[in-house]
Amino acid sequence: MQHKIESLRRELEQHNYNYYVLSAPTISDFDFDKKLRELQELENQHPEFFDPNSPTQRVGSDSVSGFEQVAHSYPMLSLGNTYSEGEVQDFYERVRKALNEDFELVCELKYDGTSISLTYENGLLVRAVTRGDGEKGDDVTANVKTIRSIPLRLQANFPAKFEIRGEILMPWAVFDELNKEREAQEEQLFANPRNAASGTLKLQNSTIVAQRKLDAYLYYMLGENLPTDLHSENLKAAHSWGFKISDATRVCKSLQDVFDFITYWDTERKNLPVATDGIVLKVNSLLQQKNLGFTAKSPRWAIAYKFQAEKAVTRLNSVSYQVGRTGAVTPVANLDPVQLSGTTVKRASLHNADIIASLDLHNGDMVFVEKGGEIIPKITAVDFDARLLIGDKVQFIKSCPECGSTLIRIEGEAAHYCPNENGCPPQIKGKMEHFVSRKAMNIDGLGSETIALLFENELLKDIADIYELKVPDLARLERLGNKSAVNIKTSYEASKEVPFERVLFALGIRFVGETVAKKLAFAFKTIEKLETATFEELIAVDEIGERIAQSVQKYFSDERSIELINRLKQYGLQMQVSEEKLQPAGNTLSGLSIVISGTFSKHSRDEYKTIIEQNGGKNVGSVSAKTSFILAGENMGPEKLKKAESLGVKLVTENEFLAMIGTEKPKPQQGFTGTLF
């Protein structure tokens, strides 16, 4: 059996490499998943063959703990930056003089992500550490293991121990998709893929990291026994061991070669799937690198050339303030229209009050506008020389431009907020738009314009008013005919059947997104229980942290929320997990104590908890001799596995469990024999 497990692992590693590194898959996704599941099943049945570097370990774990700080064996330095061909030439001359012999430079792209240092021992990834302060960083191994282009196990002929450094990136396509989702969930958007990549790498839950589809390029190897004296050859070797090395890596023998590389990639980089912000020049010979050495901050044998961000100068006419659905106030600069990277720019984001203050902005100033890695152009500086007549200093507003409430600033946050959640028009309208949205109550016919129209005509003051809308009143409004009016009514009537977990999501409680709403609904089962839940009860729920718990408590401590919920209850909305889901489904599990461990694909942990209870079983927290079995998801902790093994407690997979309670037919190849107890 060990042989079978090992050979499946090897086969899946090869497919991962073909797909993520070579971009040349030789197997369908479906067949890959099938094999991966087969391996997972075998590993579950044979915890004695557990391997932290198995392809199944890439799915992430839901352990919630801070990151351990690890000292780097070699400090992680940065590179000196240059911005012109002249400065590149200066670097070249410096190197030539210092070496006083022939040398080659390797030109590479400078990837704009977050740097990582990977340690391999005997061909296995043992540690992945962030740059941190350069001396020590965070151990993010669990998260890095989810990145498919990073090999967990190397192919032949690698040194016994070495470190390899590179850049973790979020491809543009993934970044755009993620921001779209975040917008829909009213979460703050990532400004650029770099922030998104580093934010993702610092997530506590690697299951989410796994979903974010990060990528990685490696560009710097360190160790005692590297294959050759040439950086370029070592990268080739690394490629043959399974690492993703950029194709845009050139050995240059002259300064002209370097300039050609720069010129080519300055435009060609726009067609790459990931962000780059320059090129890196490195002396190819490691011996020569050693002779050149380091300054305190950076190597003398390498330098970065940064691409020019496209810039323009224009006049700042005024600053206006937008109030978002969450009450966050965003300052926006209104500019004289100017051409930048092929588009006309009239507005630029100013982010927050601190940025306005640090730019020393005055109305009428000539300002530099840049479109760097960001999607929205930003003001980077004032052209002080062009300031002839000084206008009024831009002062961040003190009260909400929409409702007049005094703005607040939460400690530690950069943004100002309008606290008038229930009385500020954009916040009310935003709440309504969210309430009717597809993943919430799914009410048709109420787009943002219609909501604005109904709001202005005082037919909608809060979300509960939706259920008071009458067809004749609606039909009387311009732009809304009888047909649309009937459609709205039919649709809100149908929404009364929307399950509780979605109603809870629809309420728009801050930080309660779709997943959190589901977890809370299944953990507390009724709105009344959730209303009265203590802080401790809230944070005891899987994945509910202090920030969410506080927000939930704040929401329910406001009597307007309670009033609103009471009205919604009267209209017949679902305020508890459906009868069907609550009713005991059977007593298949009666008398059994079951531990849930790992991550699951078909239901959340809380749902499984409910399912166990519905079937007469008891969910317990830790493994003991009394445990009947462990409902084992993917990536179960090795400690629990060991304990289960030593006590002889059986592991039951997700599919086996569902088969056991009769919701799913067992698949024959998954080996459920029905004789588990």
**Residues near ligand IVH, by CB under 6 A:** 77-79, 108, 110-111, 115, 167, 219-220, 280, 299, 302, 304
- Euclidean distance between CA atoms 265 and 584, whole angstroms: 64
Minimum CB–partner distance for residue 108 and ligand IVH (Å)? 4
Instruction: Compute the radius of gyration of the chain from its Cα atoms.
Output: 29
* DSSP one-letter string for 147-174: -TTS-SB--SS--SEEEEEEEEE--HHH
Minimum CB–partner distance for residue 268 and ligand IVH (Å)? 16
Tokens of 675: 């004789």
Reduced to 3 states (helix: H, G, I; strand: E, B; else coil), residue 220 is strand
CB 590 within 8 A of CB 616: yes
CB 122 within 8 A of CB 160: yes
Tokens of 28: 């369908």
CB 205 within 8 A of CB 62: yes
Nearer to ligand IVH, 41 or 167 (CB): 167
The angle at the Cα of 610, spanning 606 to 615, to the nearest 5 degrees, equals 145
Minimum CB–partner distance for residue 84 and ligand IVH (Å)? 17
Nearer to ligand IVH, 77 or 338 (CB): 77
Beta bridge partners of 162: 120
- Euclidean distance between CA atoms 217 and 95, whole angstroms: 27
Tokens of 121: 């021992």
Minimum CB–partner distance for residue 259 and ligand IVH (Å)? 18
Nearer to ligand IVH, 70 or 79 (CB): 79
Give the end-to-end CA distance of the chain in Å, rounded to a whole number: 23
Minimum CB–partner distance for residue 243 and ligand IVH (Å)? 13
**Amino acid of residue 574:** Q
Nearer to ligand IVH, 80 or 401 (CB): 80
Nearer to ligand IVH, 110 or 212 (CB): 110
Catalytic one of 4, 35, 97, 110: 110
Minimum CB–partner distance for residue 91 and ligand IVH (Å)? 14
Look up 110 and say whether it is catalytic: yes
CB 526 within 8 A of CB 610: no
**Amino acid of residue 379:** I
- Euclidean distance between CA atoms 252 and 240, whole angstroms: 22
**Which H/E stretch holds residue 109?**
strand 105-111
Q: Which residues contact 92 (CB under 8 A, 6 or more apart)?
A: 105, 255, 258
CB 147 within 8 A of CB 214: yes
Nearer to ligand IVH, 79 or 589 (CB): 79
Nearer to ligand IVH, 110 or 519 (CB): 110
Tokens of 47: 């915890």
Minimum CB–partner distance for residue 306 and ligand IVH (Å)? 10
- Which residues are part of the catalytic machinery? 110
